[in-house]
Amino acid sequence: MRKVSLLSIAPFVAAVAVLPAALVLSSDAHAQAKAPAAASKGPSAEEIGKRVQNFYDSTKTFKATFTQTYTIKVQNVKKESKGTVIFEKPGKMSFTYDAPNGNRVVSDGNIIRVYEKENEQMFETPVKGSQYPAALAFLMGKGQLTKDFDLKLLDAAQMKFEGGYVLEGTPREATPAYQKVLLYVDAQTNQVRRVLVLDAQGNRNRFDFSAPVVNQPVTKGEFEFTAPPGTRVIKP
Protein backbone atom coordinates (compact mmCIF):
# COMPACT_ATOMS: atom_id res chain seq x y z
CA MET A 1 0.00 0.00 0.00
CA ARG A 2 1.38 3.28 -1.04
CA LYS A 3 -1.05 5.76 0.44
CA VAL A 4 -1.78 4.21 3.80
CA SER A 5 1.25 2.93 5.65
CA LEU A 6 -0.26 3.40 9.02
CA LEU A 7 0.39 0.17 10.69
CA SER A 8 2.41 -1.46 8.01
CA ILE A 9 -0.57 -3.74 7.63
CA ALA A 10 -1.33 -1.21 5.79
CA PRO A 11 -3.46 2.27 10.14
CA PHE A 12 -2.50 3.96 12.39
CA VAL A 13 -1.88 2.81 13.90
CA ALA A 14 -0.88 2.92 13.60
CA ALA A 15 1.25 2.22 14.05
CA VAL A 16 3.17 3.77 14.09
CA ALA A 17 3.69 5.10 14.19
CA VAL A 18 0.57 4.29 15.72
CA LEU A 19 2.36 4.25 15.74
CA PRO A 20 2.11 6.22 16.11
CA ALA A 21 3.39 6.68 15.20
CA ALA A 22 4.64 8.48 15.59
CA LEU A 23 7.67 13.78 15.91
CA VAL A 24 7.16 17.87 17.14
CA LEU A 25 4.96 17.88 20.23
CA SER A 26 1.37 18.81 19.45
CA SER A 27 0.13 22.29 20.19
CA ASP A 28 -1.67 20.90 23.26
CA ALA A 29 -1.12 22.98 26.38
CA HIS A 30 0.66 20.06 27.99
CA ALA A 31 3.52 20.65 25.59
CA GLN A 32 4.49 23.56 27.79
CA ALA A 33 4.93 21.38 30.86
CA LYS A 34 8.20 21.62 32.69
CA ALA A 35 10.78 19.09 31.55
CA PRO A 36 11.22 16.11 33.88
CA ALA A 37 14.41 15.52 35.79
CA ALA A 38 17.33 13.78 34.13
CA ALA A 39 16.75 10.13 33.33
CA SER A 40 19.24 9.03 36.00
CA LYS A 41 17.19 10.72 38.74
CA GLY A 42 13.74 10.26 37.30
CA PRO A 43 11.58 7.23 36.50
CA SER A 44 12.97 4.34 34.49
CA ALA A 45 11.80 3.35 31.02
CA GLU A 46 9.94 0.44 32.58
CA GLU A 47 8.15 2.73 35.03
CA ILE A 48 7.11 5.15 32.29
CA GLY A 49 5.90 2.26 30.16
CA LYS A 50 3.72 1.07 33.05
CA ARG A 51 2.30 4.58 33.55
CA VAL A 52 1.34 4.77 29.88
CA GLN A 53 -0.17 1.30 29.97
CA ASN A 54 -2.16 2.10 33.11
CA PHE A 55 -3.58 5.25 31.55
CA TYR A 56 -4.84 3.48 28.44
CA ASP A 57 -6.00 0.46 30.45
CA SER A 58 -8.36 2.85 32.25
CA THR A 59 -9.90 4.14 29.02
CA LYS A 60 -12.67 2.61 26.95
CA THR A 61 -12.47 4.96 23.97
CA PHE A 62 -9.84 7.35 22.61
CA LYS A 63 -10.37 10.04 19.97
CA ALA A 64 -7.93 12.60 18.56
CA THR A 65 -6.97 14.51 15.47
CA PHE A 66 -3.74 13.37 13.86
CA THR A 67 -1.08 14.40 11.41
CA GLN A 68 0.67 11.54 9.66
CA THR A 69 4.05 12.13 8.06
CA TYR A 70 5.35 9.23 6.02
CA THR A 71 8.93 9.47 4.74
CA ILE A 72 10.14 7.07 2.04
CA LYS A 73 13.92 7.05 2.41
CA VAL A 74 15.00 5.56 -0.92
CA GLN A 75 12.89 8.07 -2.87
CA ASN A 76 13.53 10.94 -0.46
CA VAL A 77 9.79 11.59 -0.53
CA LYS A 78 7.70 12.89 2.37
CA LYS A 79 3.90 12.66 2.43
CA GLU A 80 1.71 14.38 4.98
CA SER A 81 -1.92 13.61 5.75
CA LYS A 82 -4.38 14.76 8.41
CA GLY A 83 -7.52 13.35 9.88
CA THR A 84 -9.30 11.92 12.90
CA VAL A 85 -8.69 8.65 14.71
CA ILE A 86 -10.95 6.75 17.10
CA PHE A 87 -10.12 3.63 19.11
CA GLU A 88 -12.54 1.55 21.11
CA LYS A 89 -11.80 -1.52 23.18
CA PRO A 90 -11.51 -4.28 22.39
CA GLY A 91 -9.62 -4.00 19.11
CA LYS A 92 -11.65 -1.44 17.18
CA MET A 93 -10.18 1.52 15.30
CA SER A 94 -11.17 4.07 12.69
CA PHE A 95 -8.88 6.44 10.78
CA THR A 96 -10.70 9.04 8.67
CA TYR A 97 -8.39 11.05 6.41
CA ASP A 98 -9.32 14.61 5.49
CA ALA A 99 -10.12 15.59 1.91
CA PRO A 100 -8.77 15.43 -0.70
CA ASN A 101 -7.08 12.27 0.59
CA GLY A 102 -10.31 10.51 1.51
CA ASN A 103 -8.67 7.28 2.66
CA ARG A 104 -10.12 5.15 5.47
CA VAL A 105 -8.64 2.53 7.79
CA VAL A 106 -11.26 0.67 9.79
CA SER A 107 -11.28 -2.38 12.04
CA ASP A 108 -14.34 -3.85 13.73
CA GLY A 109 -12.09 -6.06 15.82
CA ASN A 110 -12.19 -8.90 13.31
CA ILE A 111 -11.32 -7.45 9.89
CA ILE A 112 -9.05 -4.52 9.03
CA ARG A 113 -10.14 -2.59 5.93
CA VAL A 114 -7.75 -0.15 4.26
CA TYR A 115 -9.44 1.94 1.58
CA GLU A 116 -7.33 3.90 -0.92
CA LYS A 117 -9.53 6.45 -2.62
CA GLU A 118 -7.04 7.50 -5.31
CA ASN A 119 -6.34 3.91 -6.38
CA GLU A 120 -9.99 2.83 -6.03
CA GLN A 121 -9.01 -0.25 -4.06
CA MET A 122 -9.46 -1.66 -0.57
CA PHE A 123 -7.38 -4.21 1.31
CA GLU A 124 -9.13 -6.55 3.74
CA THR A 125 -7.04 -8.45 6.30
CA PRO A 126 -8.18 -10.58 9.27
CA VAL A 127 -6.97 -8.97 12.50
CA LYS A 128 -5.68 -12.34 13.64
CA GLY A 129 -3.29 -12.58 10.72
CA SER A 130 -2.26 -8.94 10.55
CA GLN A 131 0.95 -7.35 11.79
CA TYR A 132 -0.33 -4.09 13.23
CA PRO A 133 2.30 -2.82 15.67
CA ALA A 134 1.93 -3.39 19.37
CA ALA A 135 2.94 0.28 19.58
CA LEU A 136 -0.66 1.14 18.76
CA ALA A 137 -2.25 -2.06 19.96
CA PHE A 138 -2.35 -0.88 23.57
CA LEU A 139 -4.69 1.91 22.49
CA MET A 140 -7.17 -0.77 21.45
CA GLY A 141 -6.85 -2.88 24.56
CA LYS A 142 -4.40 -5.25 22.91
CA GLY A 143 -0.87 -6.01 24.03
CA GLN A 144 1.28 -4.69 26.86
CA LEU A 145 4.09 -2.20 26.29
CA THR A 146 6.39 -3.61 28.94
CA LYS A 147 5.87 -7.16 27.71
CA ASP A 148 5.91 -6.55 23.96
CA PHE A 149 8.94 -4.25 23.90
CA ASP A 150 12.39 -3.81 25.33
CA LEU A 151 12.10 -0.18 26.42
CA LYS A 152 14.86 2.41 26.56
CA LEU A 153 14.57 5.98 27.82
CA LEU A 154 16.05 8.55 25.45
CA ASP A 155 17.18 12.08 26.28
CA ALA A 156 14.03 14.18 25.85
CA ALA A 157 16.00 17.42 25.47
CA GLN A 158 18.10 15.98 22.66
CA MET A 159 14.91 14.69 21.02
CA LYS A 160 13.45 18.19 21.32
CA PHE A 161 10.60 16.94 23.48
CA GLU A 162 11.20 18.63 26.79
CA GLY A 163 7.56 18.43 27.86
CA GLY A 164 7.78 14.73 28.56
CA TYR A 165 9.59 11.46 27.99
CA VAL A 166 10.74 9.62 24.87
CA LEU A 167 10.64 5.83 24.94
CA GLU A 168 12.40 3.72 22.34
CA GLY A 169 10.78 0.33 21.95
CA THR A 170 12.35 -2.68 20.25
CA PRO A 171 9.85 -5.51 19.66
CA ARG A 172 10.76 -8.64 21.60
CA GLU A 173 9.37 -10.75 18.79
CA ALA A 174 10.92 -9.86 15.43
CA THR A 175 8.46 -8.56 12.85
CA PRO A 176 8.95 -7.50 9.21
CA ALA A 177 6.54 -4.62 9.80
CA TYR A 178 8.97 -2.42 11.74
CA GLN A 179 12.22 -2.43 13.70
CA LYS A 180 11.69 0.20 16.36
CA VAL A 181 9.03 2.55 17.63
CA LEU A 182 9.46 5.81 19.53
CA LEU A 183 6.73 6.93 21.91
CA TYR A 184 6.60 10.57 22.95
CA VAL A 185 4.86 10.64 26.31
CA ASP A 186 3.36 13.66 28.05
CA ALA A 187 4.91 13.81 31.53
CA GLN A 188 1.77 15.18 33.21
CA THR A 189 -0.92 12.95 31.70
CA ASN A 190 1.03 9.84 30.59
CA GLN A 191 -0.67 10.10 27.20
CA VAL A 192 1.22 9.36 24.00
CA ARG A 193 1.40 12.55 21.95
CA ARG A 194 3.45 11.19 19.11
CA VAL A 195 4.45 7.83 17.65
CA LEU A 196 7.30 7.24 15.21
CA VAL A 197 7.64 3.86 13.52
CA LEU A 198 10.95 2.92 11.87
CA ASP A 199 11.28 0.01 9.44
CA ALA A 200 14.26 -1.93 8.10
CA GLN A 201 14.40 0.19 4.93
CA GLY A 202 14.82 3.40 6.89
CA ASN A 203 11.28 4.62 6.20
CA ARG A 204 9.65 6.72 8.92
CA ASN A 205 5.92 6.71 9.71
CA ARG A 206 5.05 9.38 12.24
CA PHE A 207 1.77 10.25 13.92
CA ASP A 208 1.23 13.40 15.94
CA PHE A 209 -1.91 13.34 18.06
CA SER A 210 -3.69 16.46 19.30
CA ALA A 211 -6.95 17.36 21.06
CA PRO A 212 -7.30 13.90 22.64
CA VAL A 213 -10.61 12.93 24.22
CA VAL A 214 -11.17 9.72 26.20
CA ASN A 215 -14.21 7.76 27.31
CA GLN A 216 -16.64 9.59 25.03
CA PRO A 217 -19.47 7.69 23.29
CA VAL A 218 -18.67 6.62 19.73
CA THR A 219 -21.14 7.09 16.90
CA LYS A 220 -22.86 3.87 15.88
CA GLY A 221 -21.34 2.45 12.70
CA GLU A 222 -17.97 4.19 13.17
CA PHE A 223 -16.11 0.89 12.85
CA GLU A 224 -18.00 -0.26 9.77
CA PHE A 225 -17.07 0.71 6.23
CA THR A 226 -18.39 -0.17 2.79
CA ALA A 227 -16.26 0.92 -0.17
CA PRO A 228 -17.88 2.84 -3.03
CA PRO A 229 -19.17 0.84 -6.02
CA GLY A 230 -16.38 -0.06 -8.43
CA THR A 231 -13.74 -0.42 -5.72
CA ARG A 232 -11.40 -3.38 -6.19
CA VAL A 233 -11.30 -5.42 -2.98
CA ILE A 234 -8.03 -7.25 -2.31
CA LYS A 235 -7.87 -10.08 0.22
CA PRO A 236 -4.89 -12.20 1.32
Q: Residue 148 falls within a domain, yes or no?
A: yes
With a cut of 70, say whether residue 180 has pLDDT above it: yes
Q: Are strands 232-234 and 121-126 parallel, antiparallel or unpaired?
A: parallel
The Cα–Cα gap between 137 and 16 comes to 10
With a cut of 50, say whether residue 206 has pLDDT above it: yes
Q: Residue 215 falls within a domain, yes or no?
A: yes
136 CB neighbour count, 10 Å cutoff? 32
With a cut of 90, say whether residue 30 has pLDDT above it: no
Q: Residue 229 falls within a domain, yes or no?
A: no
pLDDT tens digits, one per residue of 6-19 = 333 333 333 333 33
pTM passes above 0.85: no
With a cut of 50, say whether residue 77 has pLDDT above it: yes
Question: How many domains are there within the chain?
Answer: 1
pLDDT tens digits, one per residue of 127-165 = 876 665 555 677 777 778 899 899 999 999 999 998 899
Q: Residue 235 falls within a domain, yes or no?
A: no
Provide the domain limits for residue 64: 29-222
Q: ∠39-173-12 over CA atoms, to 5°?
A: 75
Mean pLDDT of the chain: 81
Contact 52, 44 (CB under 8 A): no
Q: Could you tell me which of 175, 174, 176, 156 has the C-alpha nearest to residue 165? A: 156
The Cα–Cα gap between 56 and 35 comes to 22
